[in-house]
Structure 1
Amino acid sequence: MSVRSVLSRRQVMTAVAALAAASTLPAQAQAKIKVAAIYTVPFEQQWVSRIHKALKAAEARGEIEYKASENVANADCERVMREYIAAGNQLIVGEVFGVEAAARKVAKDFPKISFLMGSSGKPQAPNFSVFDNFIQEPAYLSGLVAGGMTKSHKIGMVGGFPIPEVNRLMNAFMAGAKEVNPKVEFSVSFINSWFDPPKAKEATFAMIDQGADVLYAERFGVSDAAKEKGKLAIGNVINTQDKYPDTVVASALWHMEPSIDRALKLVKDGKFSAEDYGPYSMMKYKGSELAPLGTFEKKVPAEVVAKVKAREADILAGKFTVKVDDSQPKSSAK
């Protein structure tokens, strides 16, 4: 065999390999799911930050093309949704608590587009799935910690709106605190906003003035007030202890990754359908957890830490169930 024929064969094989590689490029490009998210609050807001984080992780892995809009007014949500669909997005994610009717109408108009929306409502066939932060389990565990840390037996709680998503976490927290400390009294306040740190701060100061020494920070602004007054705070949805190392004792964390990853797989496989993703926020699916005590590890009483660990193990083993109570929590402080 001549050198020339060997070279020509090599050249042919190289050319074939190059063509094969080139032919896979469009398939690889198509494999990236186009995802758009519409948020009515800033990316930094606790709840939305968890959805955004999970989608950014999928983007970093190269699985999706991700576009997102923050601070979208309720009146503009439907328009933005339709624009994203027109741009070829296959999965629309967001929260629709204030725009349920409009979002569901868009979903009906585009039955082949997948929707995964934070909602108090039910799934809508064939393509509108709902999710929620069912993190009542770590909220209850954080309540155990709070009950063991209060010296005044007064706990202040500041929430956004008294809707099921907020109420169930507050009620679970209160149940945990009461279990450890039956003497505890609660002051409950709602600021009627999802993002108004100054208003939350003001409400917290009022509770501290009434004797609260532990504050439940369902909203941003509460931990700032607690820090200023030398009181303690319990975080919600995200862990802010790095910013408040002497203030935030514990936090109930929400992880949106199990829900997002499930939705992406179903879209990719062509099997997305209307379902309730709520359970994927629970501890057994790694959708939530109690944050490490960190700077407060040696400050929380040992018997309380032991109780938290025992309850955590029982929850994961299915031996203990934290009640889902969506009713509006009431103040018990006199």
Structure 2
Amino acid sequence: MENQTFSADIISIEGLKVSPQSSIPAFILLLLIYIFIMVSNIGLVVLITMERSLHQPMYLLFCNMSINDAFGATSIIPRLLGDVFTPITERYIHYIDCVVQAFASHFHAGTSHTVLMIMAFDRYVAICNPLRYATIMTNRMVVKLSSGAWVAAFISVAILLGLTIRLTRCRQVIFNPYCDNASLFKLSCQNLLINHIYGLGSAVVILGSSLGSIALTYLRITIMCLRSKNKTLNSKALQTCATHLTVYIIMLVTSFTPMIMHRRPEWADSGKVASVMFVVVSPALNPIIYGLQCTQLRQKILSVFHGNKVMDGKSFTKEKTFHE
């Protein structure tokens, strides 16, 4: 059976193992998390877009991350929700749908790295070259950096999946919670050397670039802060850098944890849950971290809720006066 090439376009996907007793709680929890991710991230994008005072490079670049987080969560979570009440033996997916999901998941991961890289560059210019910030980080530069982040990830993932879909298939079962590149090329019995080389090479380039650029950026910022005697400037630099670094560390932890756990057979089921954390934890925490740490953004969010309360109070007063 392993050496037989299947022409069928339907493959089986194991997904998350959820007991019948845990199906409803797992569904409700995952649904609430997904709703929060979409509302918080899209809400911040709408707020930044509509509020002219927030049309600054830092917040516009943050929109990239929010859009990418909403995209990544949408590519994975809805299908997981649909599979919760489906028996493992009856979970099937079309091959083309699996390829699309794999592309989306890797595209989200790659874009997460590239977006955080350009956000680190923005912080570097703002802190180390404040007098030149307005001339360097123009709207045109923001568009170029944002486009470069998305295009670089798109090209890298397109080549990655292109090398995989060229393979013939001799298996029909995916054991991961969702489709990814490794799951797809493991369906083949052909020589996978090229896939392994490119997959490892692209991962090293993306990870190395993000780690190297962010480490260099923060090293330069640290040196500048040590030389500066301005406590106010150092405090603001520490606040913005701590926020960005926290987001980056969360992304690294949630992406590396499943890789480590999958290497231990006894942790296989826990590794499946951990692999979903990348599209759950980071997208849910990122808007909270930035919303709480960025003073101007936090004030705008509070003003929106405060404004709604004021409007509700006015409506109540008018309604009371009308009835009197």
TM-score, normalized by the shorter chain, greater than 0.5: no
Structure (1 or 2) with the greater helix fraction: 2
More strand by share: 1
Instruction: Tell me which structure has the larger Cα radius of gyration.
Output: 1
What is the TM-score when the length of structure 2 is the normalising length?
0.24
